């Protein structure tokens, strides 16, 4: 799953993604939302799609995380909405918009209460929600070398995803499987030569040399 959390603000997170990553992430988030319904069916039925539900062996951290509580599901709905709006601004409408609408209007029967304290406060813009809700700790899907760990073993989720995202872009430039974070002249030229596109957007400042 190519889901990168590049900012705590979902709108900025969408803006920071290059065009290809934005498209891939939209499709992957739609699949995660659909998979939650396969495991938690509701009476209203399911939107038609070509995805087969992931087996337990093939499930990833995101597909397990979304079923922890309803707040996690709504948080991903909100992020998908912002990514779809960003895609529309840059390019055109996306075919996954119908999946978003269905997922927004058909929330599965997931737990309402978070039983632990590992959560952060967010607001759901796409829903009529006057009070903030709490989601559980976001999953970290990157190798340990990209984790940004501070005193007392506190992990900065956003900086970790930014480092991982930059490394994945570098990997595409250098065509090396195991690529560390790199800001060499080759990478700089690749960004400036539009190898990666942010249509109608500037390259995020934290990605520039």
To the nearest 10 degrees (0 to 180), the angle between helices 97-105 and 19-39 is: 40
- 142: closest CA among 164, 115, 123, 173? 164
Among 114-123, 146-155, 169-178, the range scoring the smallest mean pLDDT is: 114-123
Separation between Cα atoms, residue 77 and residue 98, nearest integer Å:
12
- Which carries the bigger pLDDT value, residue 36 or residue 131? 36
Q: Please provide the average confidence, as pLDDT, over all residues in the chain.
A: 77
Measured CA angle at 60 (ends 132, 160), to 5 deg: 65
User: What is the reported pLDDT for 129?
Assistant: 36
Separation between Cα atoms, residue 2 and residue 42, nearest integer Å:
27
H/E stretch holding 135 reads: strand 133-136
Q: Which residues, listed in sequence order, are joined to residue 133 by a DSSP beta bridge?
A: 122
The model's pTM: 0.79
């Amino acid at each position: 799953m190519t889901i990168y959390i590049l900012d705590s603000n979902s709108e900025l997170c969408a803006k920071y993604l290059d065009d290809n990553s934005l498209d891939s992430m939209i499709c992957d988030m739609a699949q995660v939302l659909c998979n939650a319904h396969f495991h938690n069916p509701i009476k209203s039925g399911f939107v038609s799609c070509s995805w087969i539900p992931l087996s337990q062996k093939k499930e990833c951290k995101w597909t397990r995380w979304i079923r922890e509580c309803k707040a996690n599901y709504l948080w991903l709905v909100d992020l998908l909405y912002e990514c779809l709006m960003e895609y529309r601004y840059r390019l055109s409408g996306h075919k996954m918009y119908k999946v978003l609408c269905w997922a927004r209007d058909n929330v599965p029967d997931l737990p309402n209460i978070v039983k632990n304290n590992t959560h952060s406060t967010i607001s759901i813009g796409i829903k009529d929600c006057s009070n903030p809700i709490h989601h559980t700790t976001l999953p970290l899907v990157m190798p340990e070398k990209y984790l940004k760990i501070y005193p007392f073993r506190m992990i900065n989720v956003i900086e970790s995803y930014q480092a991982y995202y930059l490394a994945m872009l570098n990997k595409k430039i250098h065509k090396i499987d195991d690529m560390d974070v790199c800001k060499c002249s080759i990478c700089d030229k690749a960004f400036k030569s539009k190898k990666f596109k942010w249509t109608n957007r500037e390259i995020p400042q934290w990605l520039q040399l």
